[in-house]
């Protein structure tokens, strides 16, 4: 395991340590926006496997994923998945791992949201399903414990050879020295006190999700909230609000902001498949979420 200054720098460093220009990197789309920039900045090419939507829930298109793996060198996995809130099951992850092994694809698993499982849901680390040692896993306590400002992340490598390659690249791009407060914060976060705090946090966030779902169901029934298993980012289908000049979620984001003063994330930021969606960050006090949803409600009443 090695430290570095963030999960995005870690992903870029791993790619850059191992890739050739033009290598294809499979991602599941919609996808966390920095995956696109990390792939681009590493002079690789994103190959987006679009998730299938079934009953307000997202699933992998296995045929499409397999086809893409056949010509790719990397699979950049978001486990759990931002922005759809999927906690991939052990079976799903095993199937991905088997495919990656079959086609010689290197897997980078970003597990930064791993602590945010809703009650009854389960996080499966990629390390527990991996086949062979053609992978690495990136984690950080920065999301769950809100210490992103301390710039601290971990890269787990299953072999010494890989660790040395990644370590070299981390030194080349000068992201090997972390803020000295980072490791101290990480130790505190992963101690028992941190665990108790996290349980309370998760109850609060899940309460926010239930609150959001109920308000949208009763007050804005034209919108659809994705069924999530965890994370703090709600993925909401707003197709019913698109019309004329407001033809995609980027324009919708701007229009809602102008008319109500509330800024959501337009789904296009996460790839073409986010065309109809907005992403709502629920890691905030309930009062903030209440205000944001009242703004959204006022907006829907005007359309
Ligand atoms: C899936 C995912 N990975 C990485 C990051 C950012 O990580 P870092 O700040 O450690 O670079 C985020 C932040 O939103 C994220 O959602």
Distance separating alpha carbons of residues 268 and 276, to the nearest angstrom: 8
Using most ligand atoms within 8 A of CB, pick from 76, 83, 113, 143 the residue to mutate for ligand 1: 143
Q: What residue spans define the domains of the chain?
A: 2-189, 193-302
- The answer on pLDDT for 192 being more than 90 is no
Distance CA 297, CA 210 (A): 17
pLDDT in the model for residue 303: 82
At the second CATH level, the architecture of 193-302 is Alpha-Beta Complex (3.90)
2's CB contacts (< 8 A; 6+ apart) are: 154, 155, 157, 163, 166, 167, 170
pLDDT the model gives residue 91: 98
Q: Which CATH class, in words, describes the domain spanning 2-189?
A: alpha beta
Q: What is the pLDDT of residue 302?
A: 86
Q: Does the CB atom of residue 111 touch ligand 1 within 6 A?
A: no
φ, ψ at 9 (rounded to 5°): -55, -35
pLDDT bucket at 193, cuts 50 / 70 / 90: confident
Closest CA to 17 of 130, 168, 142, 126: 168
> Per-residue pLDDT tens for 257-280?
999 999 999 999 999 999 999 999
Residue labelled with tokens 């709600």:
234
Confidence band (pLDDT; 50, 70, 90) for 136?
Answer: very high
pTM above 0.85, yes or no: yes
């Amino acid at each position: 395991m090695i430290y570095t200054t963030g999960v995005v720098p870690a992903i870029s460093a791993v790619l850059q340590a191992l890739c050739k220009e033009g290598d294809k990197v499979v991602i599941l789309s919609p996808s966390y926006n920095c995956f696109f920039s990390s792939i681009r900045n590493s002079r690789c090419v994103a190959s987006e496997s679009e998730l299938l939507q079934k009953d307000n829930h997202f699933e992998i298109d296995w045929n499409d994923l397999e086809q893409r793996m056949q010509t790719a060198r990397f699979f950049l996995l978001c486990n759990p998945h931002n922005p759809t809130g999927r906690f991939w099951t052990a079976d799903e992850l095993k199937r991905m791992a088997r495919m990656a092994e079959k086609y010689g694809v290197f897997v980078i698993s970003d597990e930064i949201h791993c602590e945010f499982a809703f009650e009854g849901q389960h996080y499966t680390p990629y390390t527990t399903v991996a086949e062979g040692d053609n992978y690495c896993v990136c984690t950080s306590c920065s999301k769950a414990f809100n210490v992103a400002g301390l710039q601290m992340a971990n890269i787990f490598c299953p072999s010494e050879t890989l660790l040395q390659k990644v370590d070299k690249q981390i030194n080349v791009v000068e992201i090997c020295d972390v803020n000295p407060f980072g490791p101290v914060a990480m130790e505190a976060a992963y101690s028992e006190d941190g665990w108790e705090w996290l349980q309370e946090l998760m109850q609060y966030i899940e309460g926010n999700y239930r609150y959001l779902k109920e308000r949208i169901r009763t007050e804005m029934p034209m919108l659809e909230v994705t069924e999530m298993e965890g994370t703090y980012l709600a993925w909401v289908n707003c197709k019913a609000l698109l019309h004329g000049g407001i033809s995609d979620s980027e324009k919708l984001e701007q229009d809602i902001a102008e008319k109500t003063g509330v800024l959501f994330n337009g789904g296009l930021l996460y790839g073409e498949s986010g065309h109809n969606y907005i992403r709502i960050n629920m890691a905030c006090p309930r009062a903030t979420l209440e205000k944001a949803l009242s703004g959204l409600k006022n907006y829907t009443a005007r359309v």
